[in-house]
């Protein structure tokens, strides 16, 4: 298969983790005889620095003419600490989501057996967790009208949803549940918010089209608690934009590191793949950022094009790296010299030598990129 992939690595650790995803995709292309062509463009703070625009036209054009987008991270402390900044890196990502109609953000959350002790939550609580979060991504309070009074003392953000916006993502969530454990949990705040009551009504109506899927409801405050009390109860979580943002960061604690959580943002025409973590500016250039979320996002990209064996190969490589402690310091208490790039090398090497059953601690030379 031939794929044109736009690479928007963005800010902070974005470029270093995205490099590892590209490395792994190149290994897949070689092994499975595909042609992946990568073209880079600026987004976020780096684009503001270069063009005073977090999403330059050239970047948007490249995305529109590509088959898929690999996204890194966005954000810079110099904007976070300046509430009066008119241009912000995050606007680049939000505009991209809107312009490309990426209305569904899918965030898988798993507890890996080998990492159960890395989570601050008890192993018996998180074991076997397997959740797929469907977060609405182009509506709600993120995109409603924003106001600030002339005296600067009153502000508001409008939260608006239409039936159509709810229906299109709800269909995807129900369909996903049909391939999983047949359960959708709608997370909302229907005891307070009108938009949430509309979500409940519309989703309940749609449910009749999916008789084999059970639907239940949780208020978001309760859902936040249930997520760490009993995460195994969840199969597919369906929720609106802001609740999904918050719940998915919380859910990352289950996996042991936010550096593991990948995501796909899809619409009718375009698809973008990105780790859920941010730009982690304190770690930039230190080689300590975990590239696995980015690498697993690349696996989701392949899955999107029905390249199932290829995606599975990446996931197996990731599991092997976790098992052998070829991981960055957020997960590693054994080796202190495993860098971002070495994790990428290991997984790419695994793809090139999948049948090398001799992979074990002693024959992995951590100082080099190859398995000897
Ligand atoms: C995410 C991020 C973004 C969001 C930011 C960077 C705008 O937190 O993808 O979860 O809030 O959607
Ligand atoms: Mg977020």
Domain ranges in the chain with CATH number 3.40.718.10: 1-103+267-372, 106-257
Residue of the nearest CA to atom 5 in ligand 1? 90
Q: What confidence score (pLDDT) does residue 207 get?
A: 98
Determine which residue's CA is closest to atom 7 belonging to ligand 1. Answer: 90
SS (H, E, C) 281-308: HHHCCCCCCCCHHHHHHHHHHHHHCCCH
Q: Indicate which ligand has the atom closest to the C-alpha of 274.
A: 1
Q: For the purposes of burial, counting CB atoms within 10 Å of the CB of 128, is it exposed (0-12), middle (13-18) or buried (19 or more)? A: exposed
How far, in Å, from the CA of 32 to the mean position of ligand 1? 33
* pLDDT, one tens digit for every residue, the chain (372 residues): 999 999 999 999 999 999 999 999 999 999 999 999 999 999 999 999 999 999 999 999 999 999 999 999 999 999 888 888 889 999 999 999 999 999 999 999 999 999 999 899 999 999 999 999 999 999 999 999 999 999 999 999 999 999 999 999 999 999 999 999 999 999 999 999 999 999 999 999 999 999 999 999 999 999 999 999 999 999 999 999 999 999 999 999 999 889 999 999 999 999 999 999 999 999 999 999 999 999 999 999 999 999 999 999 999 999 999 999 999 999 987 888 899 999 999 999 999 998 775 554 434 544 444 443
What residues flank ion ligand 2 with Cβ within 5 A?
245
Residues with CB under 6 Å of ligand 1 are: 74-75, 90, 93-94, 245, 276
33 is an active site residue? no
Q: Residues near 206 by Cβ (< 8 Å), separated by ≥ 6?
A: 167, 170, 171, 174
The CATH code for residues 1-103+267-372 is 3.40.718.10
Those residues with Cβ within 8 angstroms of residue 140's Cβ, 6 or more apart along the chain or in another chain: 159, 160, 161, 195, 240, 241, 242
Q: Is 189 tagged catalytic?
A: yes
Q: State which fold the 106-257 domain adopts.
A: Isopropylmalate Dehydrogenase (3.40.718)
**Is 245 tagged catalytic?**
yes
**How far is it, in rounded angstroms, from Cα 180 to Cα 193?**
30
In the prediction, which pLDDT does 361 show?
Answer: 41
| pLDDT given for residue 333 in this prediction | 79
| Contact partners, residue 81, CB within 8 Å, separation at least 6 | none
Cα separation, 192 vs 322, whole angstroms: 43
């Amino acid at each position: 298969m031939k794929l044109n992939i736009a690479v928007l690595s963005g800010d902070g650790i974005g470029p270093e983790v995205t490099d590892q995803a590209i490395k792994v995709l190149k290994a897949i292309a070689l092994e499975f005889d595909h042609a992946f062509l990568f073209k880079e463009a600026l987004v976020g703070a780096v684009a503001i620095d270069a063009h005073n625009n977090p999403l330059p036209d050239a970047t948007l054009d490249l995305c529109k003419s590509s088959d898929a987008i690999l996204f890194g991270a966005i954000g810079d402390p110099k904007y976070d600490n300046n509430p009066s900044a008119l241009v912000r890196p995050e606007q680049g990502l939000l505009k991209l989501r809107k312009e490309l109609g990426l209305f569904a953000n899918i965030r898988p959350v798993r507890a890996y057996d080998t990492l159960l002790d890395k989570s601050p939550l008890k192993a018996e609580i998180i074991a076997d967790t397997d959740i797929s979060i469907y977060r609405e991504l182009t509506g709600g309070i993120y995109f409603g009208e924003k106001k600030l009074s002339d005296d600067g003392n009153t502000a508001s953000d409008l939260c608006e949803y239409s039936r159509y916006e709810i229906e299109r993502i709800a269909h995807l969530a129900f369909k996903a549940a049909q391939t999983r454990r047949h359960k959708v949990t709608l997370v909302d705040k229907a005891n307070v918010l009108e938009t949430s009551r509309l979500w409940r009504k519309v989703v309940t109506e749609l449910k009749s089209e999916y008789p084999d899927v059970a639907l239940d409801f949780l208020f978001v405050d309760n859902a936040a608690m249930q997520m760490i009390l009993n995460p195994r109860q969840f199969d597919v979580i369906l929720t609106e934009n802001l609740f999904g943002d918050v719940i998915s960061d919380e859910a990352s604690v289950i996996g042991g590191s936010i550096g593991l959580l990948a995501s796909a943002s899809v619409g009718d025409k375009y698809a973008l793949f990105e780790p859920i973590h941010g730009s982690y500016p304190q770690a930039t250039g230190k080689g300590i950022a975990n590239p696995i979320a980015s690498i697993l996002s690349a696996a989701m990209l392949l899955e999107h094009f029905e390249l199932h064996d290829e995606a599975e190969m990446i996931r197996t490589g990731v599991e092997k790296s976790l098992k052998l402690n070829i991981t960055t310091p957020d997960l590693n208490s054994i080796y202190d010299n495993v860098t971002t790039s070495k994790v990428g090398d290991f997984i790419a090497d695994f793809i090139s030598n999948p049948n090398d059953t001799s992979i074990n601690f002693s024959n992995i030379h951590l100082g080099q990129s190859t398995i000897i």
